[in-house]
């Protein structure tokens, strides 16, 4: 199923559009099914109702583990690199990973988990995280992984939204020279989570934790009490595989739902093609499994293809800015998949951290999560890829399950900062505000997809109407991505960024309304408005305009207090980079905040604010501009 030439891509693409069902059925033949499908696809985007491979029976872990055992049981499945370079890395072969997943799946059963139950996972980047994810899939439980940077309140909201029954966590996590007390955060969260019956805790940092009798147990003890024989649960194609929460325009994160068969086929196909993965190569995706990139391209995609996937616990700059490069040299990484924010941050250290490090194993480079600027693209190409490794700039989303628009390595001619062309099976269109298709090349518009693909979201957990409203109602019969996009003269796509109230900070999606809600919870705050602004390393930074009338402490301390509140409510990842105290916000007569003006102020571009005559009180703007000069 690997495409090896541009002509073949063009042919395949044509076929995938003309006969999508035949095309995807052909791809699906490369996977292991307990029973094949009766019907490849039924769909409408109006409800929406999307079903792929209906009637098929499978388990994704049979594809990620069992099917590799006979021929490749001793091949490394996961190479784990710890936060501390002085500690040993760990390699789990397919045989060992299979054994450990089955054993932990039995632990889950022993603790009352069964098919369909939701399980929250809040863990550090250790092999046990991948094992926990796969063990859920093994027994048909639905995992909901929450990134280690989220607060107790965020976790509680997610646990309650999905009525989770179990939590899998660890005592703590290492991140550079910091430690995060994961179990403590979970304990705080669980005060408000009545559905949780059991908590399984892995020992990792060896920090003391409180263990509640009857509820909490140790991972290490539990695995000793069960055997490693656990046949995979038979799942229907459209049974839920996982929920992953992501931010949108409104305050409350949505639980994006992915199902078994389509997600498996799509992540496997895109992994194998986009990265041109060859047997025995080492693939290193630097994301955290708490995000979709980690789900699809650390765990499911690589493992379904029998690949060797690197899991890195640490951060690129600890203990030094050479760390990423040392990991690549040490494990002879062939394919590196990372984010523009990491590239920009490392670029800031110059080439000195690269001295004496052998990067010659690298063959393909990938970028994901946000637009990559040309400067970072060229640095990546020249200094890391030595101009011989193609860069695949992959555009996709939590909702799309896998990569959608991207070069295929060694196939698609690349162009800096362009995600280039749609993968086979993906039918993008650009529309104007009224949903009218913008045809031809050299045009800009809102990016939509007009035909289903197997990896797409099926619903938002517990609220199908919200899924319909968010993605399928803006434009009739189209999936709306929320992104703006340029199609250039060559028909190449370049993603220009979100057109909704979502900001992309270091490749992480954060809803402005979410941050505003958190700031507004702070005592003394009357109202706030949050916008994104260009940030050299993070891509976008968070700028908050806050009405706080009685500044009785000094402004700096109050700013820090507000940051504490945001950290408590959402997590450190949502902390504003800048807070400006103002006495009013620019509102229209109907009470809507004119964010356009705030964005200009945040960008420092106050020369031409456009028409402000519709504002209730145009004086507010001058005042905001004046005080912004004091920041």
User: Least distance to ligand PRX from the beta carbon of 119, Å?
Assistant: 22
Residues 225-254 vs ligand PRX: string with x where CB under 6 A?
Answer: ---------------------x--------
Answer whether 424's CB lies under 8 Å from 497's CB: no
Least CB distance from residue 246 to ligand PRX, whole Å? 5
286 sits near ligand PRX (criterion: CB under 6 A): no
Distances (CA, A) of 486 to 89, 406, 418, 498: 43, 14, 9, 12
List the x/- string, 545-584, binding to ligand PRX by CB under 6 A: ----------------------------------------
Residue in 260, 419, 518, 594 binding ligand PRX, rule: CB under 6 A: 419
Residue with tokens 């194609």: 237
Angle subtended at Cα 490 by Cα 368 and Cα 507, rounded to the nearest 5 degrees: 15
Q: Is residue 397 a contact point for ligand PRX (CB under 6 A)? A: yes
Q: Which two tokens stand for residue 413?
A: 């001619």
Q: Is 313 in the site for ligand PRX (CB under 6 A)?
A: no
Q: Would you count residue 504 as binding ligand PRX (CB under 6 A)?
A: yes
Burial label for 590, CB within 10 Å (0-12, 13-18, 19+), is: exposed
Pairing of strands 76-81, 90-93: antiparallel
Report the SS3 class of residue 92.
strand
Decide: helix, strand or coil at residue 604. Answer: coil
Interface residues for ligand PRX in 610-629 (CB under 6 A)? none
**20-28 vs 6-18: helix axis angle to the nearest 10?**
120
Among 119, 495, 530, 585, binds ligand PRX (CB under 6 A): 495
* Binding status of residue 117 toward ligand PRX by CB under 6 A: no
Whether the bond into 48 is cis, omega within 30 of 0: yes
Nearer to ligand PRX, 419 or 570 (CB): 419
Cα–Cα distance for residue pair 112/367, rounded to 1 Å: 40
Residue 418 is a binding residue for ligand PRX (CB under 6 A): no
Residue that the structure tokens 């985007």 belong to? 45
CB of 572 to ligand PRX, least distance (A): 17
Q: Does 301 bind ligand PRX (CB under 6 A)?
A: no
Least CB distance to ligand PRX at residue 418 (A): 9
- Judged by beta carbon, residue 96 or residue 573, the one nearer ligand PRX is 573
474 binds ligand PRX (CB under 6 A): no
412: contact with ligand PRX by CB under 6 A:
no
List the alpha helices (DSSP H) in 522-554. none
Q: Which is nearer to ligand PRX, 247 or 558 (CB)?
A: 247
Per-residue H/E/C for 240-290 = EEEEEEECCCCCCCEEEEEEHHHHHHHHHHHHHHHCCCCCCCEEEECCCCC
396 touching ligand PRX, by CB under 6 A:
yes
Residues shown for the chain = 631
Query: Does residue 514 touch ligand PRX according to CB under 6 A?
Result: no
* Token output for 483: 């992104």
CB within 8 Å of 469: residues ≥ 6 apart: none
Strand pairing of 254-259 and 459-460? antiparallel
Q: Which CB sits closer to ligand PRX, 66 or 483?
A: 483
**Stretch near ligand PRX under the rule CB under 6 A, chosen from 137-145, 152-160, 393-401, 607-615:** 393-401
Between residues 504 and 517, which has the closer beta carbon with respect to ligand PRX?
504
Window contacting ligand PRX (CB under 6 A); options: 275-283, 300-308, 390-398, 547-555: 390-398
Q: Which residues bind ligand PRX (CB under 6 A)?
A: 246, 292-293, 368-371, 393-398, 419, 481-483, 495, 498, 504, 509
């Amino acid at each position: 199923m690997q495409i090896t030439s541009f002509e073949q891509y063009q042919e395949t693409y044509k076929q995938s559009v003309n006969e999508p069902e035949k095309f995807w059925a052909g791809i699906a033949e490369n996977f292991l099914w307990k029973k094949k499908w009766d019907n490849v696809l039924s769909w409408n985007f109006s409800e929406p109702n999307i079903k792929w491979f209906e009637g098929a029976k499978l388990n994704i872990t049979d594809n990620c583990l069992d099917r590799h055992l006979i021929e490749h049981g001793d091949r490394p499945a996961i190479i784990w690199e710890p936060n501390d370079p002085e500690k040993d890395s760990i390699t789990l072969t397919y045989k060992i990973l299979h054994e450990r997943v089955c054993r932990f799946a039995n632990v889950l059963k022993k603790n009352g988990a069964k098919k369909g139950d939701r399980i929250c996972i809040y863990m550090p980047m250790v092999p046990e995280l991948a094992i926990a994810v796969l063990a859920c899939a093994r027994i048909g439980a639905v995992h909901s992984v929450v990134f280690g940077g989220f607060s107790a309140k965020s976790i509680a909201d997610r646990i309650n939204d999905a009525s989770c029954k179990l939590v899998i966590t660890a005592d703590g996590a290492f991140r550079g020279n910091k430690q995060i007390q994961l179990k403590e955060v979970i304990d705080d969260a669980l005060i408000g989570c009545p559905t949780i019956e059991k908590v399984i805790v892995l020992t990792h940092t060896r920090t003391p934790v409180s263990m509640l009798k009857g509820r909490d147990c140790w991972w290490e003890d539990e695995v000793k009490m069960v055997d490693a024989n656990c046949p995979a649960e038979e799942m229907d194609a459209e049974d839920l595989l996982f929920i992953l929460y992501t931010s949108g325009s409104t305050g409350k994160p949505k639980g994006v739902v992915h199902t078994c068969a389509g997600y498996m086929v799509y992540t496997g196909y895109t992994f194998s093609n986009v990265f041109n993965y060859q047997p025995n190569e080492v693939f290193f995706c630097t994301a955290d499994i708490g995000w979709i990139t980690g789900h699809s391209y650390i765990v499911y995609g690589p493992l379904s293809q029998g690949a060797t996937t690197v899991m890195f616990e640490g951060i690129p700059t600890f203990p030094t800015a050479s760390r990423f490069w040392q990991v690549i040299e040490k494990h002879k990484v062939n394919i590196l998949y990372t984010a523009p924010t990491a590239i920009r941050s490392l670029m800031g250290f110059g080439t000195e951290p690269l001295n004496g490090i052998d990067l010659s194993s690298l063959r393909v480079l990938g970028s994901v999560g946000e637009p990559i600027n040309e400067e970072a693209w060229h640095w990546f190409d020249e200094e890391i890829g030595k101009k011989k490794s193609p860069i695949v700039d992959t555009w996709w989303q939590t909702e799309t399950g896998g990569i959608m628009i991207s070069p295929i390595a060694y196939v698609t001619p690349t162009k800096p900062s362009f995600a280039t062309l749609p993968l086979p099976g993906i039918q993008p269109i650009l529309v104007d505000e009224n949903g009218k298709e913008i045809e031809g090349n050299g045009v800009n518009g809102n990016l939509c997809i007009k035909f289903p693909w197997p990896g797409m979201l099926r619903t938002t957990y517990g609220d199908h109407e919200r899924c319909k409203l968010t993605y399928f109602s803006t434009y009739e019969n189209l999936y709306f991505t929320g992104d703006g996009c340029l199609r250039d003269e060559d028909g190449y796509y370049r993603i220009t960024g979100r057109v909704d109230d979502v900001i992309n900070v270091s490749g992480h999606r954060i809803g402005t309304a979410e941050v505003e809600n958190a700031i507004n919870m702070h005592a003394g705050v009357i109202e706030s408005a949050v916008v994104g602004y260009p940030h050299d390393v993070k891509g976008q930074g968070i700028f908050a305009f806050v009405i706080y009338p009685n500044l009785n402490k000094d402004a700096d301390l109050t700013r820090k207090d507000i940051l504490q509140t945001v950290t408590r409510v959402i997590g450190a990842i949502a902390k504003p980079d800048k807070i400006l105290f103002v006495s009013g916000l620019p509102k229209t007569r109907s009470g809507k905040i004119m964010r356009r003006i705030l964005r200009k102020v945040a960008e420092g571009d106050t020369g031409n604010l456009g028409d402000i005559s519709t504002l209730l009180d145009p004086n507010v703007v001058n005042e905001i501009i004046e005080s912004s000069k004091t920041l």
